[in-house]
Amino acid sequence: MKPQDFEYLQKLLRSRSGLVLSTDKVYLVESRLMPVARNRGMSNLDELIQAIRVSKDERLLVDVTDAMTTNESFFFRDMQPFESFLNTVLPKIVASRRAVGRNVIRI
């Protein structure tokens, strides 16, 4: 993959998903995006990247973003962080806001 293409994908993925790819992740990009290219009837990543740049096809952008992100749902199954926030963190925030005469919390 050409450095300018990798840089383009870095910026695209960061803006679309918050994913930050370091330059040592070229192999990861290639391995995850080649199936997207094949599913679209393309023979290589150059064709895929050119299609992304030119077409601005939203479905293609979604497919590329999905292929590159880890779709982990563990976060939503683990209730302990939410319970800690509700029972420990939030009461402290509320108390500190009340102590200075403020009743509004913005998150």
Which DSSP state fits 2? -
0.85 exceeded by pTM: no
34 shares a domain with 7: yes
Domains in the chain, number: 2
Q: How far apart are alpha carbons 107 and 93 in whole angstroms?
A: 11
Assign 44 a pLDDT band (cuts: 50, 70, 90).
very high
61 shares a domain with 22: yes
- Residue among 48, 52, 51 at smallest CA distance from 38: 48
Task: Work out the number of other CB atoms within 10 angstroms of the CB of residue 3.
Answer: 9
Q: How far apart are alpha carbons 6 and 12 in whole angstroms?
A: 10
Mean pLDDT estimate for the chain: 90
45 shares a domain with 29: yes
79 shares a domain with 33: no
- Taking residues 27-37, report their average pLDDT: 95
Q: What six digits make up the tokens of 38?
A: 């094949």
Q: What is the pLDDT of residue 67?
A: 94
Task: Out of 9-18, 27-36, 73-82, pick the least confident.
Answer: 73-82
Task: Out of 51-55, 67-71, 94-98, pick the least confident.
Answer: 67-71
